[in-house]
Amino acid sequence: MLTILTFFPVVGALIILALKLFKKETDLLIKQLAVGFSVATFLLSLLVLAQFDMAVSGLQMVNRAAWIPSWGISYLMGVDGLSILMVLLTTFISMLAIASSWTAITTQVKSYYVFMLLLEAGMLGVFLAQDLFLFYIFWEFTLIPMYFLIGIWGGKNRIYASIKFFLYTMAGSLLMLLAILYMGITNGTFALPDLIAGREAFAAAQNWLFIGFAIAFAIKVPLFPFHSWLPDAHTEAPTAGSIILAGVLLKMGTYGFMRFNLPLFPEASYQFAPTIAVLAIIGIIYGAIVSFAQKDVKKLVAYSSISHLGFVMLGIFALNEAGLQGAILQGVNHGLSTGALFFLVGVIYEQRHTRMMADFGGLWKVMPVFAVTSLIVTLSSMGLPGLNGFVGEFTILLGSMGSTALGTRPWIYTAFATTGVILAAVYLLWMYQNVFMGPLDKEENKKLRDMNGGELAIMLSFLLFIFWIGIAPSAYFLLMDSTVAKLVAHVMAAATVAMP
Amino acid sequence: MNAFGLAPLLLIFPAIGVLFNTFAGPRLIRAERKTGEMYAGWFASLMAILAFLVAVMLYFSLRAHDYHAETVRLFDWIVVPSAGFTIPWAIQVDTLSVTMMLVVTGVGSLIHIYAIGYMHGDPGFHRFFAYLNLFLFFMLILVSGSTYLMLFVGWEGVGLCSYLLIGFWFDRVNEQGKVMNADAGRKAFVVNRVGDFAMVLAMILLFWAFGSLDFGAVFGSAVDLFAHGEMVTLFGMEMTVGAVLTAVTILFLLGAAGKSAQIPFYVWLPDAMAGPTPVSALIHAATMVTAGVYLMVRSNVLLEIARQSTLDGVAGASLLGLSGPDWIALTGAATAVLAGLIAFTQFDIKKVLAYSTISQLGFMVAAAGMGAYVAAMFHLITHAFFKALLFLGSGSVIHGMEHGHHHVHEHDHEHDAHHKAEKFDPQDMRTMGGLRHKMPITFAVYMVGTLALAGIFPFAGFWSKDEILAHASTNHGSIFTAVYILLTVAAFCTAFYMGRQIKMIFFGSPRHEAAEQASESAPIMTYPLIILAALSLLGGLLNFPFFTESAYKAAKAAHSFGINLGLEHWLEHSITAFALTEEGIVHMPHTPTWMQVDVALISTILALAALALAVGVVYRKRPQTATERDPLQGTPIWWFAILPFEWFYMHTVVPAFKWSARWLAEVLDGAFWHDFVHDNIIRDLFVGFAKFSANVLDANGVDGLVNGSGRLTHAVGAVLRKTQTGYARNYALGVFLGTVILLAYFIFAS
């Protein structure tokens, strides 16, 4: 099941590539096929959800086959409470991203959609692979389509941004590769469950191994101060690229911490928690303040991601149930809110070919529907209660103050992190005012059309989840509860043995 | 009668109103302006009225059920089972929440109806009513939630509506080109968020200390622990309940200071007057800004435990020697005086009322801090009546002035247009004067509002303000004395600035041609005013005190209080501190139940003196013209015109933030981190290393492995040097192919 899900988009990509053989290749057909396959993949992921048993804390729907037995490498796929929401997020965001490219992409249509579908497959693989070697291959594989998406369909500085993105994340993962090889060789297996069971073998080196993984993931998240690639990549990427980058790719980093760092190196995680929490909080505040100074809307949203992901990281390293569950949900929330924000920036960019706040003003008058939907998304990003962002943020902050990993004064962490709530209002309302309020005084803006049906449909899909998670998120927490509880128990048991 | 099941309708009606005006409103108005407005406005008003009827039914249900609180659970909100964190959406129907519901929907309905007349012809008519209904929706969530977190949903939600409504005319620009309305809305939201920051921390603290955010559960657990002298385990340490609750009450104070415009966060409220006047009446006078007071009254148990802990000398249960409630009381009293003084210096009719609101909220906050919860609620209710009346009255005045101005303009237009360029501010009291003849109904109701606000017998404000003053004067302790003195001064200020205001608006002779041509507003606006005037006159009956001690004792012996102390007997069912005091767990300061004649006399004489001083002395013959200096200008009173806190924020906090944002973005993140560290140090080192390995190591013939890596780094270096060429793509293609080959190798190798 999971294998079918992961490679289903690849089938789509292959069919699109094969169209030429049958002399049927038209842009329209390619688009229809790509959208069709992404919708079908989403439906498949819902099927996975239907079979998912939330009472089980371990891996489910496991596919296991020996692959390179001599090296202890296996083909191992499985899903649990940590990944089920990520899988759904991936298929959902990919579907909307592919659909949103309908009019935006006019050049090299075929390769564009092929890369999009391959990217989706790679991301699914990252969230489902339970063998470290397999994981690593998927992890690196996602870089390639993203590299081309930025490099070919990006803005005017795209080459620089794409290379920076590629090398930066590539360099980070090299250390992870070393760590993976070390563990695989000492244990004779690359399967994650086996490694967790046999972590005594590399427990002595776990601080170094933790760092090896952490740097790869921290770059991806990005955790301050590894964030420098992100604004470049975001501003240069095409709209759909930004949506996927913010929506899913960044979550691969936070997911990596939860999937690998915590269970494999619990003592090290406990020990490094305050350090990472401090970096996360710096990220929250720094990202928010730097956002405020941006003149380009897309860059502002990009920096806001650093702030939001800071909350997620803080939640993870609170190392308790509330923090981790809040972090997973906030990952989803950020994907929805920021994905939607990038989509909205794309809608206006397509018409005006500018993203500078100074070029706008008073848009509410000509685009009321666009203005209202943007307002809701902005508020969701700000963490207004009743919308999705608040639920995640509050749970994370709750977790952080109840954290034992953060020493005897966890409230100091919470207090600093909570200032992010104020700063988010400062920069997001500033952006909203500059774009939508004030007088409609630019000639070019007076002729703008409001959102069309297709754009509205995509937007409503985002809004559906923004409201749902905001008002009734309990189903989402239940999906991950047992897995997270087990993970926390595992980490805490190890940490208390190590540090009485 | 049991109508508790209807409670959800309280929220559903306004929600329907929002949807109606969002989706159907624009179409209706586009089709036919006049009838469209009628449908849009009356539909929204009807939803408010229906919500009011639900509140009335809940009131009778409570009476029929011996005032027993009822919780109507809707569905789960946040549930994190393994963390023990469960928050439902649930409506708590008790005497306190029903009181708030009645005020919100009752005054709200009147203001909705008034707004149909006031907003007539505005292009955003339907948008306005959608916002008003949305506000009711969130305000009702705020007052009816059964948990702190649900209260917070309403708390932020009304903040959002306030933001939207202050910035309702978002495209208006002032002479300096500032988008002032939108700026004012943003300011309100951001300042409120500072308070919300404290609210979030307070709630999290409560959760970890008492394991819940449900009102009943938190209070129950706090009382249990406190009564048994047990400790709270927090952050792996043992802490006293008193210490935790002192922190919580101080954080609540900060939260309330944001929402209820107290020192140091009151600065947003005067700017909020940029919104349409019905908004000022509903949100920024009668309801939303009282949320902080509601929070305090709702948390009465926590406040009293904190106060008792300080008195008992419990470890950690004080801040600078004062208890949390003491800080609340002092903050409120200081705000009451400061805002009262600032009101002296304002010329804008609505700004005077705005500072007056801040000052009156100070009375309520001080009352709550002193433990006079019933008095705080009493003043909240009467203030809702007379301040809504005054704001709507000022709206009527502004409307009349605008009308007059239009009239002059049309008149001008026929002859010559030399007045066209003249700037005219219909809210500037200096341009008014003599309006009592032009707008007799508005004048009459405005006088009622003024006398009620000034605290003149027998108007509503007299009774409620007097109860607060009596409470402060009869309780012992330096805090109570200080608060009593401050509030008495504030009461004097209130009467003075209101005297000044009515003198400038209604008396003397018109100082501008617009005032000469002003006319009375339409009945749809004056009828709600008349109803509010009646309420401002009779509101004192809600909690009518006994006149003498013996009358109180006789009534108590007979167990028949009649009309007297109605509000107290109604509210004591939800103010648990009363019961705790009887059990001896805490000792809540006692509010006198019969009139304190001395206090009443002092405050009445002061108020009358202040009115007389303003109307009969300082402003007796002034101002004569619209450009004349105010007689107080140049005196020390005018120092308050520079708005001490406003000046501080605008000259320190705001520029510092902007500067640091620019510095961080441009210098640290941009020039240093992005350009220097990444593009110079890291890239150049990498390129340098690549060159070194390619030229030196390679040339010296080291073994194949190094050779290979040398070539690879050489390639990378080349890519980095030629980032602007297509070379990079080839390299990435290489990596791609490499991955594929590697994959193929492993697949076939096995």
**Residue A384 resides in a domain:** yes
In B, minimum Cα distance to A151 occurs at: B729
- Among residues B125, B146, B167, the one where a domain terminates is B146
Q: Report the amino acid identity of residue B18.
A: V
The verdict on B237 and B314 lying in the same domain is yes
Lowest model confidence (mean pLDDT) among A484-488, B84-88, B149-153, B714-718: B714-718
Is pLDDT of B321 > 70? yes
In a shared domain, residues B595 and B674? no
**Distance separating alpha carbons of residues B641 and B274, to the nearest angstrom:** 19
Q: Which residue has the higher pLDDT, B716 or B633?
A: B633
- The model's pLDDT over A227-247, given as tens digits with 9 standing for 90+, comes to 888 888 888 899 999 999 999
CA distances (Å), origin B73, targets B85, B86, B642: 16, 13, 50
What is the per-residue pLDDT for B71?
92
The pLDDT of residue B675 = 76
The mean predicted confidence, pLDDT, of chain B is 86
Q: Give the residue from B264, B304, B267, B269 showing the smallest Cα distance to B290.
A: B269
| Calpha distance A132→A216 (Å, rounded) | 14
| Nearest-angstrom CA–CA distance, B171 and A433 | 10
Within the 39-98 window of chain A, which residues sit less than 8 Å (CB to CB) from chain B? 66-70, 73
Contact A395 B78 (CB under 8 A): yes
Chain B interface includes A148 (CB < 8 A): yes
Q: What is the 3-state secondary structure (H, E, C) of A256-297?
A: HHHHHHHHHCHHHHHHHHHHHHHHHHHHHHHHHHHHHCCCEH
Mean pLDDT calculated for residue range B88-105:
94
Residues B106 and B243 in one domain: no
> Which are the contacts of A439, defined by CB distance < 8 A and separation ≥ 6?
A361, A362, B171, B173, B179
Helix (H) or strand (E) holding B72: strand B70-80
Q: Does A290 touch chain B (CB under 8 A)?
A: yes
Q: How confident is the model at residue A277 (pLDDT cuts 50, 70, 90)?
A: very high
Based on the fold, state whether residues B501 and B467 are members of the same structural domain. yes
- If pLDDT is split at 50, 70 and 90, which confidence band does A161 have? confident
Q: pTM for the complete prediction? A: 0.91
Contact A57, A219 (CB under 8 A): no
Are B461 and B593 in a shared domain?
yes
The torsion defined by the Cα of A8, A11, A17 and A18, in degrees rounded to 10, comes to -150
The Cα–Cα gap between A57 and A59 comes to 7
Whether the per-residue pLDDT at A106 is higher than 50: the answer is yes
Residue of B nearest to A479 (CA): B80
Residue B325 lies in a domain: yes
With cut-offs at 50, 70 and 90, classify the pLDDT of residue B129: very high
φ, ψ for residue B563 (rounded to 5)? -80, -20
Query: Which residue has better confidence, B230 or A390?
Result: A390
CB contact under 8 A, A473 and B77: yes
Partner-chain residue, chosen from B200, B674, B716, that has the shortest CB–CB distance to A228: B674
Predicted confidence (pLDDT) at residue B482 exceeds the cutoff of 70: yes
B166 and B141, same domain (yes or no): no
- How many CA atoms are closer than 13 Å to the CA of B483, on its beta-carbon side? 33
- Widest CA span in chain B: 113
Helix (H, G, I), strand (E, B) or coil at B639: helix
What pLDDT is recorded for position B726?
A: 44
DSSP state for residue B238 in the 8-state scheme: E
Q: Of B83, B204, B237, which is closest to A414 when you measure between CB atoms?
A: B204
Per residue in A360-377, pLDDT (tens digit) is 988 998 999 999 999 999
Interval A430-473: pLDDT, tens:
999 999 998 888 888 888 889 988 899 999 999 999 999 999 99
pLDDT at B720: 52
**Residue where one domain finishes, among candidates B104, B128, B146:** B146
Contacts of A401 in chain B (CB under 8 A): 204-205, 208, 235
Range of the domain at A375: 273-473
pLDDT tens for residues B195-225?
999 999 999 999 999 999 999 999 999 999 9
Rounded CA separation B328/B260 (Å) = 12
pLDDT for B694 equals: 65
Distances (CA, A) of A295 to A380, A430, B262, B337, B503: 21, 11, 34, 43, 49
Give B616's pLDDT tier (boundaries 50, 70, 90). confident
Average pLDDT of the residues in B596-617: 90
> Do B638 and B740 fall into the same domain?
no
| CB–CB contact B666 A293 (8 Å) | yes
Cβ neighbours for B393, distance < 8 A, ≥ 6 positions apart:
B442, B445, B446, B449, B529
Residues 6+ apart with CB under 8 A from B500: B344, B352, B614, B615, B618, B619
Residue B285 has pLDDT above 80, yes or no: yes
**Quick one: what percent of chain A has pLDDT higher than 70?**
99
3-state secondary structure A46-104: HHHHHHCCCCCCCCEEEEEEEEEHHHCEEEEEEECCCCHHHHHHHHHHHHHHHHHCCCC
For residue A231, list chain B residues with Cβ-Cβ distance below 8 A.
674
Do B679 and B719 have their domain in common?
yes
Nearest to B468 by CA among B534, B380, B573: B380
Distance CA B112, CA B48 (A): 8
Measured CA to CA, the distance from residue A411 to residue B208 in angstroms comes to 11
Taking the Cβ of residue A289 and every Cβ of chain B, the question of whether any pair is shorter than 8 Å is answered with yes
- Selection from A332, A293, A327, A329 nearest residue A310 by Cα: A327
Residues A108 and A29 sit within 8 Å (Cβ to Cβ): no
pLDDT of residue B727: 47
Interface probe for A, chosen from B179, B191, B204, B733 (most Cβ of A below 10 Å), is: B204
Separation of CA B354 from chain center: 12
For residue B718, the model assigns a pLDDT of 57
3-class SS at B232? Answer: strand
Residue A402: inside a domain: yes
% helix, strand, coil for chain A, step of 5: 80, 5, 20
Q: Is residue A168 part of a domain?
A: no
Whether B623 maps to a domain, the answer reads yes
Q: Is residue A383 part of a domain?
A: yes
B152 and B37, same domain (yes or no): no
Tally of domains in chain A: 1
A378 alpha-carbon distance from chain centroid:
18
Q: Angle at the Cα of B272 (from B268 to B273), degrees rounded to 5?
A: 135
Mean residue pLDDT of chain A comes to: 91
pLDDT value of residue B636: 80
CA A54 to chain centroid: 22
**CB contact (8 A) between residue B205 and residue A411:** yes
CB contact (8 A) between residue A166 and residue B80: no
- Tell whether B83 and B36 lie within a shared domain: yes
Question: pLDDT category, B607, cuts 50, 70, 90?
Answer: very high
Is residue B418 very low, low, confident or very high in pLDDT (cuts 50, 70, 90)?
Answer: very low
Whether residue B417 lies inside any domain: the answer is no
Confidence category of residue A500, pLDDT binned at 50, 70, 90: low
Structure tokens at A378: 């902005």
Q: Report the distance separating Cα B549 and Cα B470, nearest Å.
A: 14
Nearest-CA neighbor of A182 among A220, A211, A139? Answer: A211
Interface with A, mutate which of B125, B180, B200, B716 (most A CBs under 10 A):
B200
The 3-state DSSP class for residue B417 equals coil
Q: Which residue bears the tokens 């502002």?
A: A300
Q: What percent of chain A has pLDDT over 90?
A: 65
Instruction: State both tokens at B188.
Output: 């309100």
* Cβ–Cβ gap B76/A408 under 8 Å: no
- Give the chain A residue whose CA is nearest to the CA of B153: A385
Contacts of B197 in chain A (CB under 8 A): 418-419, 421-422
Q: What integer is the mean pLDDT of A23-49?
A: 90
B44's CB contacts (< 8 A; 6+ apart) are B17, B20, B21, B112, B129, B130, B132, B133
Cβ separation of A320 and B674 shorter than 8 Å? no
DSSP secondary structure letter of residue B239: E
In a domain, B416, yes or no: no
| Burial (0-12, 13-18, 19+ Cβ within 10 Å), A55 | exposed
Domain boundary among B616, B644, B672: B644
Please give the Cα distance from B738 to B735 (Å, whole number). Answer: 5
Between strands B231-234 and B237-240, the pairing is: antiparallel
Query: What confidence category does residue B177 fall into, taking pLDDT thresholds of 50, 70 and 90?
Result: confident
Q: What is the pLDDT of residue B419?
A: 46
- Residues comprising chain A, all counted: 500
CB contact A500 to B (< 8 Å): no
Alpha-carbon gap, residue B420 to B422, rounded angstroms: 6
Would you say residue B511 lies in a domain? yes
- Asked if A397 is an interface residue toward chain B (Cβ–Cβ < 8 A), one would say yes
Task: Judge whether A88 lies within some domain.
Answer: no
Distance CA B166, CA B187 (A): 10
pLDDT of residue B742: 58
Q: Which residue has the higher pLDDT, B620 or A338?
A: A338
Q: Is B315 exposed, middle or buried (0-12, 13-18, 19+ CB in 10 A)?
A: exposed
Give backbone dihedrals phi and psi of A102, rounded to 5 degrees, phi first: -45, -50
Q: In which band, very low, low, confident or very high, does the pLDDT at A119 lie, cut at 50, 70 and 90?
A: very high
Which residues of chain A lie closer than 8 angstroms to B666, CB-CB?
Answer: 293
B97 and B168, same domain (yes or no): no
Q: Is residue A488 part of a domain?
A: no
Cα-based distances in Å from A213 to A140, A180, A205, A256, B675: 14, 9, 13, 8, 27
In this prediction, residue B748 carries a pLDDT of 53
Task: Measure in Å the smallest separation between the Cα of B676 and chain A Cα atoms.
Answer: 11
Contacts of B75 in chain A (CB under 8 A): 472
pLDDT at B731 over 60: no
Indicate whether B37 and B120 sit together in one domain.
yes
pLDDT of residue A200: 86
Angle at B158 between CA B137 and CA B337, to 5 degrees: 135
Res. B703 pLDDT band, cuts 50 70 90:
very low
What is the average per-residue pLDDT within A85-89?
95
Helix, strand, or coil (residue B147) = strand
Coil, helix or strand at residue A191: strand
Q: Structural domain tally of chain B?
A: 3
Domain of residue B110: give its range: 1-146
pLDDT at B706 over 60: no
B60-69, B90-99, B313-322, B569-578: least confidently modelled range: B313-322
* B14-18, B282-286, B608-612, B746-750: segment of lowest average pLDDT: B746-750
Indicate the pLDDT class of residue B335, thresholds 50, 70 and 90.
very high
ipTM for the predicted complex: 0.93
Q: Within a domain: residue B289?
A: yes
Mutate to test the interface with B, among A159, A232, A440 (most CBs of B within 10 A): A159
> Average pLDDT in the B271-275 region?
90
Nearest to B419 by CA among B430, B405, B403, B431: B405
Cβ-based contacts of A289 with chain B (< 8 Å): 657, 660-661, 664-665
Token readout for B647 is: 């000046």
| Cα(A92)–Cα(A49) distance, integer angstroms | 13
